Amino acid sequence: MPSRRTSRVEHDPWIEHLAWLMDSSIGIGRWSIGIDGLLGLVPGLGDLAGSLVSILIVGRAVRAGVPRIAVARMVANIAIDALLGTVPVVGDLFDFAFKANVKNVRIYQESLGGVRTARHWGFFVVVAAALLSVLAIPVTVFVLLLRAL
């Protein structure tokens, strides 16, 4: 059965250009912003539209044979960008600063270039620990309330 994966190509000009357009195409002094940040200013649909464009990079990575854990990290970057971008004002500033697409292109290139994926596993371990810590707070409060009764 033939593999669905294409040849391992580290340099993909199309996604590099897309990431630049979305995250860094507009220079403002020492800083640069992209269309993703501007889309995030549109209430409701802006972050969704930016995320849909970002998924194109992930799809290209999947077709190129990027390891699943690296793809999961790329999806996590998009989710962080979209979720935090929905917070009024602060989320918009975050959207301009957090360059998920550029990060995802770097993950794509490093993964196909042979860089080990251990740091992606470490990221998810930290996220899981943080989520468990957040969940432990209400459980602890509930147990303490039950003991007080």
Section 59-68 average pLDDT? 92
Distances (CA, A) of 108 to 50, 69, 97, 149: 19, 11, 20, 54
Q: Could you give the CA distance from residue 115 to residue 71 in angstroms, rounded to a whole number?
A: 14
Question: What is the model's pLDDT at position 1?
Answer: 43
Section 85-109 average pLDDT? 90
Q: pTM to 2 decimals? A: 0.76
Are the C-beta atoms of 66 and 75 separated by less than 8 Å? no
Mean pLDDT, the chain, integer: 85
5-36 pLDDT tens trace: 444 556 788 999 999 999 988 888 888 889 88
Taking 60 as the threshold, does the pLDDT of residue 2 lie above it?
no
